[in-house]
Amino acid sequence: MLKEKIKELRSEITKRQTAINTKIKEAHQRAEEDKLEEAKTIKDEITSLKAEIETMTEKLKELEELAGIEQVEVTEGEERSFNPRSPKVNLPNEIEEIRSKVNDYIRSYGQTRDGLKIIDAEPVIPVEILTTPQREPEDVVDLASMVNKKPVKTASGTYPVIANAKVGLASVAELEKNPELGKPEFKKVRYDVETYRGELPISQESIDDAGVDLTALVAEFLQQTKRITTNRAVANVLKTFTKKSINDVDNIKYIENVALKQAYKRDYIASASAYQWLDTLKDKNGRYLLQQDITSPSGKSFLGRPLTVVDDELLGSKAGDMVMFIGDLKAGVFFADRVDVTAKWVENRVYGQVLSIATRFDAKKADENAGFYVTIKPIVELNPTE
């Protein structure tokens, strides 16, 4: 009997929230038609409906407690996973406040924007604010964080990148005039920010349920889609570097020792298939060249350098591609970060309204000499099925 009352009460709350959404649109339409009195009347009706929802929500909480639907306390040291009924994670007041404002924005279908930063008429949602309570997997690769990532204030422009110095200081006698040094070489990297969008359908039930932390739902979407998008953009830049083909470890050593100038760092980005090939290489004493390295994203290092592993399709073009980037990621790639993430409600013919998420950035090659895009063509082809 109690569960039926809870179900009925939730249904009534949903009906009133749906009515509010409809009346909000009607009020905007009346205002645009200069029918201000009608708009004011509708606004009063919305206020009344919201008051009814608040009363029903309080009653719902009481019934749920009676039914045994309680918040489960997490003991110290126990790992916390997201649960719609779990208590809030203790956060600094400022972060908790922003998360609350994001929740208000989502629940009001974009009508409540107080306290949110607005760029290009859309509220900005800081990813780090949303993802604070969530434990991000340690093995996730974020290529954008490994390159030269800088915030920019315009949609297009140039960013100065200084070239490596080629002339050292000269020795001079006391009181002699300082010799002239070569002027620093600046390269202006041209960027044109692009907008990447996606839609996140959020059910009316999730919006109506006061126990659901909607920022956690949005955060999960943002974490995955933004990282996939930026990784793809950076990987596409890496594919444009000077191409080389190799068939053994000696070729790799030549690239590291000779082909790549000593002023550059040695970063290794390998596809999963390339990593498999590297993982089978041995020295003359039969020892594997890949070594354990807790500082490396993959947990191993190659020739003393940390190694990062990504999917074949990301750095290559299809499954099975054995490709690598060897070079200086910071010097080679410039990432223009225009807007972290913005969100707005948009009409959807099928779903009604969906939350549109957008991020704006551009990734460009900054120094063409900073690395090589390497294709591995081993003398003996690997065939794991044999």
d(CA 353, CA 347): 5
Q: CA 157 from chain center: how many Å?
A: 23
Maximum mean pLDDT: which of 140-149, 176-185, 270-279, 293-302: 270-279
Q: What percent of the chain has pLDDT over 70?
A: 62
State percent of the chain over pLDDT 90: 24
148 CB contacts (<8 Å, ≥6 apart)?
161, 329, 330, 331, 333, 334, 335, 366
What is the structure's pLDDT at 178? 65
For 285-320, the DSSP string reads: TS-BSEEE-TTSTTSEEETTEEEEEE-HHHHSSSTT
pLDDT bin (cut points 50, 70, 90) of residue 311 is very high
Confidence of residue 370 (pLDDT cuts 50, 70, 90): very high
Q: Is the pLDDT of residue 228 over 70?
A: yes
pLDDT band at 257 (very low <50, low <70, confident <90, very high): very high
In this prediction, residue 352 carries a pLDDT of: 55
**9-18, 22-31, 281-290: which has the minimum mean pLDDT?**
22-31
Q: Give helix then strand counts, H and E, for the chain.
A: 10, 15
Least trusted range by pLDDT, from 188-192, 232-236, 287-291, 322-326? 287-291
CB 116 within 8 A of CB 105: yes
- Mean pLDDT for 173-179 is 66
Q: What is the pLDDT of residue 332?
A: 94
Q: Rounded to the nearest 10 degrees, what angle do helices 93-107 and 214-238 cross at?
A: 100
Highest mean pLDDT (candidates 9-23, 188-202, 359-373): 359-373
* 325 within 8 A of 241, measured Cβ to Cβ: yes
| Rounded Cα gap, residues 4 and 350, in angstroms | 30
**Given this model, what pLDDT does residue 90 score?**
37
Q: At what angle do helices 2-32 and 36-66 cross, to 10 degrees?
A: 160
Between 371 and 162, the higher pLDDT residue: 371
Nearest Cα to Cα of residue 322 among 276, 279, 288, 289: 276
SS3 196: strand
Residues 6+ apart with CB under 8 A from 3: 67
DSSP string, 205-240: HHHH-TT--HHHHHHHHHHHHHHHHHHHHHHHHHTT
The pair phi, psi for residue 149, each rounded to 5°, is -95, 120
Overall average pLDDT of the 43-59 stretch: 82
Higher pLDDT, 109 or 231: 231
Distance CA 324, CA 256 (A): 13
pLDDT at 212 over 60: no
pLDDT (average), residues 212-221: 63
Q: Mean pLDDT for the chain?
A: 75
Q: Which two tokens stand for residue 234?
A: 């950076």
